[in-house]
A and B are shown apart, each in its own frame.
Chain A
Amino acid sequence: MNGKKVDLMSDNMDKKELTEKSETQRIILPDPTRLILSPSPHIQTGPGTGKIMLLVIACLAPAIVASLMFFGLHALRVLVITTASCAAFEYLWNRISGRKSTLNDFSAILTGILLAMNTSSLTPAWVCVAGAFIAIIIAKQIYGGLGQNPFNPAAVARIAMLTGAAGAMTRFPAPNSIFFAPIPDALTTATPLGAAESFSAMGKGVEYFNSSAFLWRAFIGETSGSLGETSALAILIGGIGLIALRIIRWHIPVSIICTVAVFVSLVNHFSPGTTPGVLFHLFSGGLLLGAFFMATDMVTSPVTVKGGIVFGIGIGILVCVIRIYGSYPEGMSFAIVLMNALVPLIDKVCYIRPFGHQNIKSGRIEPRRGEIK
């Protein structure tokens, strides 16, 4: 510090200052050459990109623990392979395209975990690596990296694996029985959704899926299915954590869940027996995981609150249409990618009106209303 030696003894310091001061105080002035010169504003609030991604991973932790609990080592294997290959592909891309490494914003690791959550624990390694390649390189990096991709990378990779390697993706193991008795043999290979689909196709009743025993089992998560999807309880804990930390807005998940509930109850009302009840649809398949973690991905969801609600309703309808009428048992990833395609249109249609917009449009000046006192 290039401090200047100045004696400061002047009378107008008030009493509190005098006691602090010794008889001569060395005045230090800041060094002007090491100042940062930048236009306003000069303070920043709220977490940065990296911190946000870390918080989302933290909120995913309950779902990860539940999947490890139910599917054991296989789950760990898939989780590690997918996340590691996602990070590796991102590092390779940055190295090839000469950009500085963007691994420190943890988005690649988050995508990896989300992708692993969507796959079953028996997925072969090559399918995981191929999924990671599609998620990171094709769905994100060639659009210019984080923030520029129109589609959710995890959802795109899930669809690609589902349509590409259908065989590998539809083998689901039975969960370790911790809370309930081992599940009946009819359900071992297929997910609850798949079983419900085949039951209704063969004309057998779907009451079993509405029984409270099965619903409790689906809520806790002890049914066969993808890694993160089975345990609705774990996802709800993580989701409410996300909303509490104000990382996502509640409008998208709530509108998805309400739309699905309305649509399924309508279908049950008009043509009963084709599909199980509302709670079954909410707790099984990737609905909750998609609603709280994938549909609310900031980059690919609408910016405004109104847009979020329209986005949620769209996903809800598409999920039910594909699940009930389509041939695929699980429609969440398709619904998310289809609605991601609509997001630019939604942003264009329901953008918020600027302050006093109606006056600008009509050209008239706000009349003097608003009384004083």
Chain B
Amino acid sequence: MTIAELLPVTVGAVLVNNIVLSRILGICPFLGVSKKLKTALGMGCAVTFVMTISSFVTAVLYHFLLKQPLTAGSFKNLDLSFARTLVFIVVIASLVQIVEILMQKFSKSLYQALGIYLPLITTNCAVLGAAELNAASGRGIILSTIYGCCSGLGFALALLLFASIRERLELSRIPKIFQGASIALVTAGILAMAFMGFAGLVK
């Protein structure tokens, strides 16, 4: 676990190929929750929490249960990695269900503020995307968890930036046809273009 291995994963996940702005994943919560900074922060933390644990659990399941479940006996070459997406979805859904119950118990206001977007994390392609990328790139469990956590932080960073810009856009006189989602998409586009500047940062 040398710095040379760690750096490309962390900087790569947060800045260079940011899960939202470079890989264009998880756009619907990105547009939906970024009206207010507080809810954006709440959503960012929730997604980072879910991504970290789901990357860990999915990496463990993938390496021990799906790759070669039984090393001995007649089913030695049984390879279940084809079913990884199904398993990942089940894992993420149950994790989100647990987070929802905990959040309803402990921070009711955040639960109401996030509203429909909290259960929507299950179908959030950023979370599933991180799990899939981990499995496809064949990283170790610890590296996958770090990648999951960093891409979660990347999502939270992009959401934070975007929410603060949208809060300022609310005070400006945008023409009627561009108000709401359309101005958000244009802003996200320009932000993504700016993030392309980091291309090639990680060799």
Contact = CB atoms under 8 A, between A and B. Distances in A.
Indicate yes or no for A touching B, C-beta below 8 A: yes
Interface of A: 97, 138-139, 142-145, 147-148, 150-151, 156, 159-160, 163, 318, 321-322, 325-328, 331, 333-335, 337-338, 341-342, 344-345, 348
Contact of A337 (B160, B194, B200): B194
Contacts of B167: 344
B168 A144 contact: no
Contact of A345 (B164, B172, B175, B190): B164
B165 interface: yes
B192 to A, nearest CB: 10
Q: Which 10 A-B pairs have the closest CB atoms?
A: A327-B200, A334-B197, A148-B172, A344-B164, A337-B194, A144-B173, A344-B168, A345-B164, A144-B172, A144-B174
B198 interface: yes
Contacts of A326: 197-201
A144 B201 contact: no
A325 B173 CA distance: 40
Contacts of A139: 190
Interface residues of B, number: 27
Contacts of B172: 143-144, 147-148
17 contacts: A142-B174, A142-B183, A143-B169, A143-B178, A144-B175, A148-B172, A148-B173, A159-B196, A322-B201, A326-B198, A326-B199, A326-B201, A327-B199, A334-B194, A337-B194, A341-B165, A342-B161
A318 B195 CA distance: 11
Interface string B142-162: 000000000000000000110
A151 B169 CA distance: 11
B70 interface: no
B124 to A, nearest CB: 22
A145 B199 contact: no
Contacts of A159: 193-194, 196-197
A148 B178 CA distance: 13
A328 B197 contact: yes
B177 to A, nearest CB: 9
A328 B191 CA distance: 17
Given A150-B165, A150-B169, A344-B168, A156 B190 contact: yes
Contact of A142 (B37, B178, B193): B178
Given A144-B172, A344-B164, 16 more contacts: A139-B190, A142-B174, A142-B175, A143-B172, A147-B172, A151-B194, A159-B196, A321-B201, A326-B198, A326-B201, A327-B200, A328-B197, A328-B199, A337-B194, A341-B161, A341-B191
B183 A143 contact: yes
Contacts of B164: 344-345, 348
B194 A150 contact: no
Contacts of A325: 200-201
